[in-house]
Structure 1
Amino acid sequence: MPYALVRGVQIFYQIIGDHGPWFTLSTGGRRSHAEFISLAQKIAKGGFRVLLHDRRNTGASEVSISGQDGEEIIWADDLAELLKQLGIGQAFIGGASSGARLSILVNQRHPGIAKALVLIRLTGGETAAARLPKKYYQQFIDAAKSGGMQAVCQTSDYQERITARPENLEVLMKMDPEEFIRVLENWLSIFVSGPTYPVMGVEESTLQAIQVPVLIIPGNDRTHARGNAVAASQIIPQVELFQLPIEDQDADIISFTEWAPLEESIATKVISFLKAIQS
């Protein structure tokens, strides 16, 4: 399996397609890159090389609970370094949900890398602000406080990371629970410190400062409400809003797997958007 040592952490990656411009695609939440393989294959057929990767602490990449920066900043800097290691000077940068926030951060923190951004299922609003801090951090803090690292390893999220990369079990069990708690509480405080609307954790000034073309594809649940995407599109300077033929749903979250029938439409639009920039 292809791994790269990125800033001291083993990062798993996969390249789909063998020619054409580079396009990175990052999943949402803490989900594996595998969720986007099917979509990446469709985009690659349009003449692109699609780079997928598991962010640290996700999928088959190494668990590393450390660092003073917010976790999403760490992810953004990791992706920029991975591109550098692979000899990719510029790329189209895209992702869904937390992957969309990562894309915005790469553009903000590493000017010149992104030729354009593709932002799918932008996260924001009250439901996201209520759900995500617990989902991403608080549940693991509580587990560590009640049962140490063994309890953390028994959570479904960390069981997935251990199954995908068995070496993660040893890494986690060697951690001091108090240090684990300290890092996650810091990440949690950073995560909840920013705005919640239209894009959670992203200041409007950051959206206004984006100087590359942007494609926004709204979601249709309360965490990825269409209104967030519409509001963001009114702030970002060079933006195209693409509405899929779907209705908003009264649900906290709709998994991306339920969007499988929409992949062809998404890929077709992404390909046409990126090719228009290339021409």
Structure 2
Amino acid sequence: MWCRSTCTSPAAPLTRGSCLPACSRCCRKLPDNNAYNRSGVEMPEALVRGVRINYAIIGDGGPFIALTPGSRRPYGELVDLSKAIAANGYRVLLHDRRNCGASDVAFDGSGSEHEVWADDLYELGKQLGALPMYVGGSSAGARLAIMYAMRHPDGLRGLLLWRLTGGQEAVDKLSENYYGQYIKLARAGGMQAIADSEHFAECITARPSNKERLLTQDVNSFIDVMTKWRAKFLESAKLPIVGASEADLNAIKAPACLVAGNDVIHTPVTARKAARLIPNSELHEDVVERRSDDNLRQEWDRQEWRDAEPKLAKIFAAFLNRVETN
């Protein structure tokens, strides 16, 4: 590992058990933030497009796979699944996206939230020497992966997608959850109200410097970014999946492994549409309980998906091995 304060080269990939007491190039003492979380996974960070991104790499060698959880949740929920996949000869890159977990809060209205996340991941992968890599995720993480495929095909080996999101009900509910509620909070109580909200209070707990970043954020600029992100999200109601048109999906050349959800936000129909439109794809509909389209869960069952992780890891490992062999 190389320190980022004096060495001009990007950081070499960190792997489980590779934490060093000093920079391997200049012998400078490494910063204290290269610690381990409760799962025993190393937690370095990188400066990505001006934003400090908390990340971890699981595995000792092989191609890189970047996985991202749903919503704006931190990466910790994917550690066990990542270990199971990495055991097959891969390295899994996990990271807290901006405005998630222990990474910086930062609001960039130059594109949709998922476009910003995709560009961040590409830059992080470039810094770590991980490109081209497999990219995947669940729900919002799957949207990030699709956006990454659309914007950075040169940095992509393949896609691992589960719990894909689509449809009017999903768009209406999630646009309010991710954006609408924060627009209302900011208008009523300014950035203090945002800092006090459940999600951003968790971001402050995970990285205390986020409190100052939030409280010094111009409230009108914040509202403007959230409004732009919400508008982009609402445009997706009539698309096959949130964030991607038929033409976008048709243009993806990388192989893709899709796993269908079984709730009204992550419908099996959405996964089937995506699998039909992505040319080199395979679809699995039996990882969790298979339900008819008129009997879907109203909310996704976290424990059901947690229990399905061994099966999910087996499916992904088999797919990855086929792609690598061919």
**TM-score (structure 2 length as normaliser):** 0.83
1:89 match: secondary structure: coil
State which drifts further: 122-131 or 267-276.
Answer: 122-131
The alpha carbon displacement at 1:195 in A equals 4.2
**TM-score (structure 1 length as normaliser):** 0.96
Corresponding residue to 2:207 among 154, 160, 165? 165
5 Å-filtered alignment, 1:1-279, equals 1-243=43-285, 244-248=287-291, 250-279=296-325
Q: Are 2:261 and 2:288, in contact at CA under 8 Å, matched by a contact in 1? A: no
Q: Are 1:14 and 1:51, in contact at CA under 8 Å, matched by a contact in 2? A: yes
- Greater relative contact order (Cα < 8 A, sep 6+): 1
The alpha carbon displacement at 1:132 in A equals 0.5
Query: For the aligned residues, what is the CA RMSD?
Result: 1.3
Q: Are 1:108 and 1:206, in contact at CA under 8 Å, matched by a contact in 2? A: yes
The alpha carbon displacement at 1:194 in A equals 3.0
Greater C-alpha radius of gyration? 2
Matched AA of 2:81: L
The alpha carbon displacement at 1:2 in A equals 0.5
Matched AA of 2:192: Q
What is the CA deviation profile of residues 208-235 of structure 1, one whole-angstrom value per residue up to 9, with x for unaligned ones? 1111111000011100011110121111
Runs ≥4 residues deviating over 4 A = none
The structure in which a higher percent of residues are helix is 1
What is the CA deviation profile of residues 26-77 of structure 1, one whole-angstrom value per residue up to 9, with x for unaligned ones? 1111011011111101111111100000110111100001332111100000
State which drifts further: 184-193 or 222-231.
Answer: 184-193
Q: Are 1:127 and 1:252, in contact at CA under 8 Å, matched by a contact in 2? A: no
Matched AA of 2:133: A
1:180 match: secondary structure: helix
> What's the % identity of the aligned pairs?
43
The alpha carbon displacement at 1:256 in A equals 3.8
The alpha carbon displacement at 1:245 in A equals 4.6
Aligned mates of 2:52, 2:183 — CA distance in 1: 24
Structure 2: unaligned runs, 5 residues or longer: 1-42
